[in-house]
Amino acid sequence: MIGVTASAGAQLDFTVMTVASRTSGKATFFGFNNSNSTGSLSNASLETQSGVVRTCTTCEDEGTILRFFVSGCEDSDAAGFKSLVVDDLKLVRSDRAAYSGGSFVFNISTNDAISAANGSTIIVQLRAD
């Protein structure tokens, strides 16, 4: 993993995302979005800290935010996850900008955007560290 300090056993689960783009109005989004058939995941089922398997339906760069939706995922370090790593960008769950029913919104800068990976494959991880 480039740019991410990892500890042994901290990875809860991972998937490989094929990044694609879609346009909505004047905005272009990059990543994976199941409802819009954008991009793909090697495995949409991700195991959380509590051992429950949840389905990821969105991991998408929307410019200044990254939206990550995992159905029914708990908003806690103990039950859900402590950090989300998308390629080499580590986002701490407790720093999220918003949460609602499994949908996590993280503020990102344009330097952190995954748009540069458009057409490529990158690793997405749920972590306990």
**Residue 115 corresponds to which tokens in the numbers above?**
């748009």
Sequence ranges of the domains in the chain:
11-127
pLDDT of residue 8: 54
SS3 76: coil
Q: What pLDDT, in 10s, does the model give residues 37-84?
A: 999 999 999 999 999 999 999 999 998 999 999 999 999 999 999 999
pLDDT of residue 92: 96
pTM of the complete model beyond 0.85: yes
Where does residue 75 fall: left (phi above 0), alpha (psi -120 to 50 degrees), or beta otherwise?
A: beta
Q: What pLDDT, in 10s, does the model give residues 80-120?
A: 999 999 998 999 999 999 999 999 999 998 777 788 889 99
Residue 3: pLDDT band (50, 70, 90) is very low
Buried/exposed code over 21-43 (b: 16+ C-beta within 10 A; e: otherwise): eeeeeeeebbbbbbeeebbebee
Are β-strands 103-107 and 53-61 bridged in parallel, bridged antiparallel, or unpaired?
unpaired
Residue 2: pLDDT band (50, 70, 90) is very low
> How many Å apart are CA 126 and CA 129, to the nearest integer?
9
Q: Which residues contact 68 (CB under 8 A, 6 or more apart)?
A: 56, 58, 59, 60, 84, 103, 104, 105, 106
Phi, psi of 114 (to 5 degrees): -90, 5
Q: What pLDDT, in 10s, does the model give residues 13-24?
A: 999 999 999 999
